């Protein structure tokens, strides 16, 4: 039962939320969509500012209780008809709660290891890399200007709430960023033609690991900064590994290297 009477969602508000699926509109407004129970639960505990919440009329009890928690913090909650709510989401089977959130104004904190993504275009891959980094306790991802927008709803959804704990620093000129770090860090690049097997790599604490675009790999001008070019060994016949899978394997190897050095 809804003990609190939430505001009905207007068509104008529905159109506004739908417009935030577009990167240009997100940049213009400084707002993005966080969809799903788990993600909204993580949002509630984060330092980001929630503009408002939208709850589906057929929401589960746990989602209703979560919406009430936002309401108690003074955040507006709107109740949408199921037909309206479905239009707000990109998934075929959407969940029953979402939030509209303001971009973070906090200066990004940069901790090692630094994961550098050169032209990652698939939002699912970026979301998975964020989630994997969070699993291992790593906090810094840097992306090139031509990478997918970190505020893309599919990225947020794929991160499963880890988005709120990992610093994704986007739109960086990678040559400038990596060049400025080269004196203090070792630079590693994962490629299909790498001469060093990953199993032989021992990552120092201050490591930067570069992963490339899903089809073309790492651009030559970025690859030229690498101190070590490695490959992930395998015995099968697949042409290559998915970049998010590759990142997971490498981050685990970094994790092992740090434990071995203790």
pLDDT in tens, 9-27: 999 999 999 999 999 999 9
Summarised one tens digit per residue, pLDDT across range 163-209 is 999 999 999 999 999 999 999 999 999 998 899 999 999 999 999 99
Q: Is the peptide bond before 218 cis (omega within 30 degrees of 0)?
A: no
The structure tokens listed for 234 are: 């395998």
Summarised one tens digit per residue, pLDDT across range 69-103 is 999 999 999 999 999 999 998 777 788 999 999 99
CB 97 within 8 A of CB 77: no
Burial class from Cβ neighbours inside 10 Å (0-12, 13-18, 19+) for residue 207 reads: buried
Write out the DSSP string of 137-168: T--EEEE-TTSPPTT-HHHHHHHTTGGGTSEE
pLDDT for residue 1: 47
Position with higher pLDDT, 104 vs 29: 29
Instruction: Compute the distance between CA of residue 212 and CA of residue 259 in angstroms, rounded to an integer.
Output: 27
Q: What is the gyration radius of the CA atoms in the chain, in angstroms?
A: 20
| pLDDT of residue 157 exceeding 50 | yes
Top-ranked range on mean pLDDT: pick from 104-108, 139-143, 158-162:
139-143
Strand, helix or coil for residue 184: coil
The model's pTM is 0.92
Query: Phi, psi (5° rounding) for residue 198?
Result: -55, -35
Which of 186, 170, 167, 169 lies closest to 178, judged by CA?
186
CB 169 within 8 A of CB 113: no
Instruction: Compute the distance between CA of residue 161 and CA of residue 48 in angstroms, rounded to an integer.
Output: 12
Give the whole-number percent of the chain exceeding pLDDT 70: 98
Residues forming beta bridges with residue 167, ordered by sequence position: 140
Q: Calculate the CA 80 to chain-centre distance.
A: 27
Position with higher pLDDT, 259 vs 52: 52
The structure tokens listed for 240 are: 């290559």
Summarised one tens digit per residue, pLDDT across range 232-249 is 998 887 878 899 999 999
Q: What is the mean pLDDT of residues 35-58?
A: 95
User: In the structure, what pLDDT confidence band is assigned to residue 262 with cuts at 50, 70 and 90?
Assistant: low
Within 8 A by CB and 6+ apart from 32, the residues are 20, 26, 100, 101, 103, 151, 153, 156
Give the whole-number percent of the chain exceeding pLDDT 90: 84
């Amino acid at each position: 039962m809804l003990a609190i009477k939430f505001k009905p969602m207007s068509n104008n508000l529905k159109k506004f939320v739908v417009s935030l699926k577009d990167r240009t509109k997100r940049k213009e407004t400084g707002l993005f969509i966080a969809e799903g129970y788990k993600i909204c639960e993580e949002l509630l505990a984060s330092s980001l500012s929630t503009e408002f919440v939208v709850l589906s009329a057929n929401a589960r009890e746990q989602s209703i209780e979560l919406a009430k928690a936002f309401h108690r913090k003074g955040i507006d909650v709107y109740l949408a008809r199921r037909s309206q709510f479905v239009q707000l989401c990109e998934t075929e089977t959407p969940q029953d709660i979402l939030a509209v959130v303001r971009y973070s104004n906090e200066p990004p904190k940069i901790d090692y290891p630094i994961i550098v993504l050169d032209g990652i275009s698939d939002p699912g891959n970026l979301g998975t890399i964020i989630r994997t980094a969070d699993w291992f306790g790593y906090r810094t991802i840097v992306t090139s200007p031509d990478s997918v927008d970190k505020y893309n709803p599919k990225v947020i959804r794929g991160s499963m709430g880890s988005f709120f704990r990992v610093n994704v620093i986007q739109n960086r000129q990678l040559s400038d960023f990596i060049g400025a770090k080269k004196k203090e860090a070792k630079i590693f690049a994962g490629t299909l033609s790498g001469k060093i097997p990953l199993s032989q790599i021992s990552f120092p604490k201050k490591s930067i690991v570069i992963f490339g675009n899903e089809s073309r790999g790492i651009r030559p001008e970025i690859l030229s900064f690498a101190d070590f070019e490695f490959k992930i060994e395998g015995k099968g016949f697949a042409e290559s590994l998915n970049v998010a899978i590759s990142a997971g394997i490498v981050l685990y190897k970094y994790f092992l290297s740090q434990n071995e050095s203790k």
